[in-house]
Amino acid sequence: MVFSPSFSYLTIISLLFHLSYFSSIEAQNDGLIVKLFRKSSSKYMPNIVQAPIHAYIGQHLMEVYIGTPPIKISGITDTGSDLIWINCVPCDGCYKQINPLFDPRKSSSYSNVSCDSSECNNLYSHECSPENQCSYNYGYADNSVTQGVLAQETVTLTSNTNESISLQNILIGCGHNDTGTFNDHEMGIIGLGRGPLSLISQIGPLFGGKKFSQCLVPFHTDIKIASKMNFGKGSQVSGEGVVTTPMVITPNPVSYLVTLLGISVEDTYLPYNSKGDASKGNMLIDSGTPPIYMPNDLYDRVANEIKNKISMEPIINDPSLGTQLCYQTNINLDGPNLTFHFENANVVLTPIQTFVPPKEGVFCLAINNQTEEEGIFGNFAQSNYLIGFDIEKELISFKQMDCTK
């Protein structure tokens, strides 16, 4: 989800694990305690730290366990924000969720963060409660808001070798007034941005560096089919077909910004700007925003070229579709493919990633126009790509693959 400069944002995760017949190993780094639960016959530390991700109604939900005893949480996988937050008891002003709210009073590992702490000072927007707790108020570009307190809690992930990894003293937001465009399966947001409070910034140094990779399944996929988020060691994107583009580092400590030079609709190249130039860092890679967003000028040229490449006539008399470019069809379109020409990396998108069905018998272009010059490469476009984010090397890598397998 895109950061709103007047606030900030957070997120949370949840992952399946089994604690029976496991022994434990502890390690500590900068106050963060890691406990690895593993079967007594196992002789190795985990190779890859992971979390499952499911696609549901425009968002990809990551699963982790929070607290002691651990409670499974499903939160929006969000590379566009850095904090981790969940709906907590009491939450009278919050949006409705189908799962029980997290109750910090029932967790023996929960502790509030004081307002005068260095952790509280890392928050973009915070204030002191009467009890000297670190209170926050974070907002998103879609006008969603979370309000609550910063806390330390245990988060449990797993590995590709089935160990369960208990991470103590993880900073999370415990939200008590959360509103906006959330659906009832979303229990919070898992921030994966570059900021100091994101999940990857907190755990990366323990598992081989601040880097992770994701493979998001398309939204037509059965929700029971999960893909994986890999953290640290073993999350590299390698092999045939990998393309890599540099991150553009700005004073904004959260965003993954890259440079888009232009877009090809099949064999027709359209520069990012009609003048032929492209400013550095003009595209945000954001897994918390579903569609692609691009400036009005680029959108008009891309949409017109797509219409020229499709033999069908677009729908023009359906008010429910607004100004979207849509076609009457029961199956997705046969083309055209779009190539996003990032700096040093060409990423090809098929109709699976660029057309979505808002209702039965209709497919619409999953690209929106906006007045801002900075665009957004949303999660529709990211599906069926293994995408690696390496904060330390300041690189983002893409490898096309079937994320359902």
Bridging pattern class, strands 71-78 and 188-191: parallel
| Cα–Cα dist 182/138, whole Å | 15
Whether 286 sits among the annotated catalytic residues: the reply is yes
Q: Which of 82, 178, 286, 390 is catalytic?
A: 286
| Cα–Cα dist 291/265, whole Å | 17
- Written as one letter, the residue type at 40 is S
Q: Name the residue among 208, 278, 213 with its Cα closest to residue 248.
A: 278
Vertex 199 angle, CA 156 and 22, to 5°? 15
Whether 178 sits among the annotated catalytic residues: the reply is no
CB atoms closer than 10 angstroms to residue 316 = 7
Helix (H) or strand (E) holding 355: strand 355-359
| Cα–Cα dist 261/345, whole Å | 10
- Written as one letter, the residue type at 97 is Q
User: Is 186 buried (19+), middle (13-18) or exposed (0-12) by CB count in 10 A?
Assistant: buried
User: Is 61 buried (19+), middle (13-18) or exposed (0-12) by CB count in 10 A?
Assistant: buried
Q: Which of 78, 82, 178, 390 is catalytic?
A: 78
- Written as one letter, the residue type at 218 is P
Bridging pattern class, strands 345-349 and 338-342: antiparallel
Burial of 359-383, coded b for 16+ CB within 10 Å and e otherwise, reads eeebbbbbbbbeeeebbbbbbbbbb
- Written as one letter, the residue type at 57 is I
Q: Which residues are catalytic?
A: 78, 286
